[in-house]
Amino acid sequence: MKNSIKIKQAFSVDRTTFQDIFFIPILAISLAISLGLLLLLLTGESYQTALTALIALFVGSFGSVSALSETLTAATPLIFAALGIAIGFRAGLFNIGAEGQIIVGGLAAVIIGFSVELPLMLHLTLMLSVGAAFGAGYAFISGWLKAFTGAHEVITTIMLNLIAFRLLDFFLRLPFIQKEGRNDPISKSVLDTAELPRLLVLIDPNLRIHAGFLLAILAVILVYWIIFHTTIGFEFRMVGTNLNAAKYAGVNSSLTIVLAMSAAGLCAGLAGASQISGVLGRATSGFSAGIGFDAIAVALLGRAHPIGVLFSGILFGALVAGGREMQVSAGVSLDLITVIQALIIIFVAAPILVKSIFPWFFGKK
């Protein structure tokens, strides 16, 4: 009973109806996959290939324990980073800088990971915290610029991304960081004590899903609580929804913007750290792999709601995992997945289009 009130409240804020929350994403996904397959046919592939690709997409993402493990592994950093972007959205900030924040957070984490010697839990905690803190610090720059100079966060975060890319290459060649005997930008590997434990070693030690996924779920709950049940979250939402009203209500909007941006960076930093610690074990040039940009799509698809982010993160993880299987068994390029992802976002961003294609799901008007 108490929970149902809470959920109602959370959703009443969005003014989104049940239909909008559930039907539109599902229909958008089906539309996007259908159009993707149509594209495949148009490029001269046979029906069999298209069918194989479609099946591979599902089998590769949810069809087996190992498929599911891959899906959730890919989803983990997406969920972390998208939670940060969702916090930004709630506070009216469009954070394009998750990619740079992931890099800075991941880089800081990897350094802690190979250079400090501590017992397992302590080392892991330290590494993740430092990663989160550096992500937060990097995003803080944009937040501060926005709050005190009015510089738009979209511009500053994009620029900070570019700086992060080069910074990463520079750091990875420093003798202190670069792996011994290598000339290319690659860091030393983190110590065993700094690796997030894999969850399903009892079934098969090769299953990559790691404890980072559990942390991501924890983060979902925590961010939900912050956004909807804390004073600071209320301030985020006030500033993001109606800045004039927030000022009238006595909210310090500059401080709120800086905090929200830093919180967003913190989540992205965690995404980087957990990816290093749970999957990669070291940093390479381009280890962020566009996660920070995909996370923007995940946050949009999840309507900046933590629960929505959880599901859309898993969906995007599934597309990544399913896409790999599609490439292997149907010989279809992984780029098709990018097309499908883009189409999903377009359809979600244009709900009226989806409603006009499937009018019968939405009743009249």
Partner 1 sequence: MKIELKEISKSFGPVAANTKINLSVSSGEVLGLLGENGAGKTTLMNILTGLYQPDSGQILIRDQERKFYNPRDAIKNGIGMVHQHFMLVPVFSVSENVILGNEPITNVNRINKKEAREEVLKISSKYNLDVDPDELVERLPVGVQQRVEIIKILFREAELLIFDEPTAVLTPQEVLDFFRIVSNLKKSGKAIIFITHKLHEVIQICDRINVLRRGEMVGEANPKKTSNSELAELMVGRSVNLKTKRPKINRGKVLLETKNLQVMSNKKEMGLSNINLKLHENEILGIAGVQGNGQTEFIEALTGLRKISSGEISYFDKRYTNLSPRKIHKMGIKHIPEDRQKQGLINEFSIIENVVLNTYYEDAFSNNISLNWNSAKSEAARVMKQFDVRASSETIPANNLSGGNQQKLVIGREMSRKINLLIASQPTRGVDVGSIEYIHSQIISARNAGIGILLNSTELEEIIALSDRIIVFFEGKIVAELSSNTDPQIIGMAMAGVVN
**Which CB atom, from 115 or from 242, has the smaller least distance to partner 1?**
242
Q: Pick the binder of partner 1 from 47, 229, 328, 349 (CB under 8 A).
A: 229
Instruction: Classify residue 192 by its DSSP letter.
Output: G
> Which residue type is seen at 104?
V
- Which of these, 131, 146, 101, 88, lies nearest to 298 by C-alpha position? 88
Taking the complex as a whole, how short is the minimal distance between the CB of residue 37 and partner 1, in angstroms?
37
Taking the complex as a whole, how short is the minimal distance between the CB of residue 86 and partner 1, in angstroms?
16
Distances (CA, A) of 288 to 8, 99, 100, 298: 36, 7, 8, 16
> Cα angle at 315 between 197 and 51, to 5 degrees?
115
Residues 28-87 that bind partner 1 (CB under 8 A): none
Taking the complex as a whole, how short is the minimal distance between the CB of residue 90 and partner 1, in angstroms?
12
Tokens of 83: 């939670």
Taking the complex as a whole, how short is the minimal distance between the CB of residue 241 and partner 1, in angstroms?
5
**Which CB atom, from 188 or from 237, has the smaller least distance to partner 1?**
237
Q: Pick the binder of partner 1 from 58, 144, 165, 234 (CB under 8 A).
A: 234
Taking the complex as a whole, how short is the minimal distance between the CB of residue 249 and partner 1, in angstroms?
4
Tokens of 187: 């860091």
Does residue 166 interact with partner 1 by CB under 8 A? no
Does residue 350 interact with partner 1 by CB under 8 A? no
Answer positive or negative: Cα dihedral of 46, 52, 54, 60: negative
The whole-angstrom distance between residue 361's C-alpha and the CA centroid of its chain comes to 30
**Residue 187 DSSP SS3:** strand
- The full DSSP string for 293-350 is HHHHHHHHHTTT-HHHHHHHHHHHHHHHHHHHHHHHHH---THHHHHHHHHHHHHHH-
d(CA 338, CA 23): 22
Of the listed pieces 19-27, 93-101, 240-248, 349-357, which binds partner 1 according to CB under 8 A?
240-248
Instruction: Classify residue 283 by its DSSP letter.
Output: -
**Which CB atom, from 46 or from 230, has the smaller least distance to partner 1?**
230
d(CA 193, CA 251): 43
Convert residues 6-25 into a mask of x (bound to partner 1 by CB under 8 A) and - (unbound).
x-xx--xxxx----------
**Which CB atom, from 66 or from 252, has the smaller least distance to partner 1?**
252
Does residue 238 interact with partner 1 by CB under 8 A? yes
Q: Pick the binder of partner 1 from 180, 244, 352, 360 (CB under 8 A).
A: 244
Of the listed pieces 5-13, 26-34, 38-46, 317-325, which binds partner 1 according to CB under 8 A?
5-13
d(CA 300, CA 171): 33
**Which CB atom, from 9 or from 115, has the smaller least distance to partner 1?**
9
Q: How many residues does the chain have?
A: 365
Q: Pick the binder of partner 1 from 237, 303, 305, 355 (CB under 8 A).
A: 237
d(CA 61, CA 33): 14
Taking the complex as a whole, how short is the minimal distance between the CB of residue 353 and partner 1, in angstroms?
21
Taking the complex as a whole, how short is the minimal distance between the CB of residue 235 and partner 1, in angstroms?
8
Of the listed pieces 71-79, 157-165, 199-207, 238-246, which binds partner 1 according to CB under 8 A?
238-246
**Residue 178 DSSP SS3:** strand
Does residue 250 interact with partner 1 by CB under 8 A? yes
- Which of these, 225, 349, 341, 221, lies nearest to 291 by C-alpha position? 341
Does residue 5 interact with partner 1 by CB under 8 A? yes
Helix (H) or strand (E) holding 285: none
Taking the complex as a whole, how short is the minimal distance between the CB of residue 129 and partner 1, in angstroms?
20
Residues in touch with partner 1 (CB under 8 A): 5-6, 8-9, 12-15, 225, 229-232, 234, 237-238, 241-242, 244-245, 247-252, 365
